[in-house]
Amino acid sequence: MTTPTMAVTVLRAPRAARADLTFGLSVGVLGVMVAAAAFAPLIAPYDPDAVDLAAFYSGPSAAHWLGTDALGRDLLSRTIHGARTALLAPLAVVVISTAVGIVLGLIAGWRGGWLDSVLGRLFDVVFAFPSLLLAILAVALFGKGLVAPVIAMSIAYAPFVARLTRSLVVAERSRPYVAAYRVQGFSPPWIATRRVLPNVTPIVGAQSTLNFGYVLAELAALSFLGLGVQAPAADWGAMINEAQAGILGGHFLPALVPAAAVVLAVVAVNVIGEEYSNRIGGGAPA
């Protein structure tokens, strides 16, 4: 059946170290991106919107580390400035959806009964609208830009958070430690908010971290479709949209640089989210 291999035993320690390494790298990547977003005007070598028609599609050089686009704008500067909308908008979505979702999930899970059924039906309806579809509908109603999609995606993601919170709260509520608090004479609202909630928030937080990656990708896709951030602005999705024509002419960098930024950000967030949920997995009563 199973042949014993001592090699595996030896491999074990480095594996943990490797997990720490990728986690550290991911935190580093995200840190650099946050710093880039915060201090973009100080870091970026050029004005992101400065057109230099003489230097269009110039490859990487000392002057332009990552080259320029069809209008001769510096890709590095544009990518650095693009980090602002790329990170801020998903952050807004995750914060709003997590706050709303935790409150609704706690109410549904703790109260149960008809309130739970009504909220559950409501979640079902919102679930039927994929987040990107709801964002597209919001653009169709309120016009292009990021504000309407951010609100729409917050609404779309809130039921995910609420469902997760609800299921965790329901599981916690049936655990004897909650019954023990009640037997000791603590009031149910106190138990729910002061004792059960802190036990479920780490798991919800880990999921919300993963959601951040999805939202980032979806908002970039919206700008790529021309429905989000509009063209001249430096935004990763919008940059790729603009650069599409260049690809067919063999000019890959203007599209691939912002694309790489999107992928890198999503990978970093996913690794952090998964590692985080692995770490709390041991301590949480799940």
Partner 1 sequence: MSALRRVLGKLGGLLLTLFLASLLVFFSRFLVPGDPVSFLLRGRKPSPEAVAAVNAQYGLDLPPWQQYLSWIGGVLHGDFGRSLQYRQDVGAVIGERMPVTLGLVVMAGLMIAIVGLAAGAIAALNRGRVLDRSILIGLTALGAIPSFVGAIVLIAVFAVQLGWFPSFGSGDGGIDTLYHLVLPSTALALVFVVLVGKVTRSSMVDQLGREHVEVATSRGLRRGTVIRRHVFRNSIGPILTVSGLLVAGLLVASSIVESAFGLAGVGSLLVQSVSRLDFPVVQAIVLLIVFAFVAVNAVIDILEPVIDPRAAAGGGAR
Partner 2 sequence: MTLLSIDELSLDLHDGTRLLHGVSLEIAAGETVGLVGESGSGKSLTARSVLGLLPPRAATAGSIRVDGREVLGASRRDLLALRRTSASMVFQDPRTSINPARTIGDHLTESLRVCGGWSARDATRRAVELMESVRLPRPDEHLRQYPHELSGGMLQRVMIAGALTGSPRLLICDEPTAALDVTTQAGIVSVLLEQRETRGMGVLFITHDLNLAAAMCDRVVVLSGGRVEERGLAREVFGNPQAAYTKRLVAATPTLAGAPGGDSVGPAVVVERIQGGSDATGRAGSVAGPPGDRRAEAAPVPPQALLDIRGLSKTYRRSGREAVTAVDDVSLRVERGGALGVVGESGSGKSTLARILVGLEAADAGEVVVDGRARTSLPASRAARLAHARSVQMVFQDPYLSLDPRLSVGRAIEDALHLHSHATSRDARARVLRLLDQVGLEERHADARPRTLSGGQRQRVAIARALAIEPDLLVLDEATSALDVSVQAQVLDLVASIRRHRGLTVLFISHDLAVVRRVCEDTVVMHRGRIVEGGSTAAILAAPQHPYTRRLIESVPRPGWDPAAAGAPLEPAGRGQGV
Shortest approach of partner 1 to residue 63 CB, angstroms? 24
17 binds, among partner 1, partner 2, none (CB under 5 to 8 A by kind): none
Footprint of partner 1 (CB under 8 A) = 121, 124-125, 127-130, 132-133, 136-137, 139-142, 213, 217-218, 220-221, 224-227, 237, 240, 244, 247-248, 250, 252, 255-256, 259, 262-263, 266-267, 270-271, 274
Name which position in 185, 189, 249, 250 contacts partner 2 (CB under 8 A): 185
3-state DSSP assignment of residue 74? strand
CB count, 10 Å around CB of 252?
A: 13
36: Cβ–Cβ under 8 A, 6 or more apart, which residues?
43, 80, 83
Is 117 among the residues that bind partner 2 (CB under 8 A)? no
189 binds, among partner 2, partner 1, none (CB under 5 to 8 A by kind): none
Output 191 or 253, the one with its CB closest to partner 1: 253
Of 237, 234, 219, 213, the residue nearest 149 (C-alpha): 219
Output 221 or 286, the one with its CB closest to partner 2: 286
**86 vs 93, 214, 221, 277, CA distance in Å?**
12, 12, 11, 24
Is 18 among the residues that bind partner 2 (CB under 8 A)? no
Shortest approach of partner 2 to residue 274 CB, angstroms? 22
Residue 234 and residue 48 in contact, taking contact as beta carbons nearer than 8 Å: yes
Output 107 or 155, the one with its CB closest to partner 1: 155
Distance between CA 272 and CA 199 in Å, rounded?
A: 20
Shortest approach of partner 2 to residue 187 CB, angstroms? 6
**210 vs 34, 63, 199, 244, CA distance in Å?**
17, 37, 19, 28
Shortest approach of partner 2 to residue 3 CB, angstroms? 8
Is 16 among the residues that bind partner 2 (CB under 8 A)? no
Distance between CA 138 and CA 239 in Å, rounded?
A: 22
3-state DSSP assignment of residue 274? helix
Instruction: Write out the residues near partner 2 by the rule CB under 8 A.
Output: 1-2, 4-6, 8-9, 12, 175-177, 179-187, 195, 198-199, 283-285
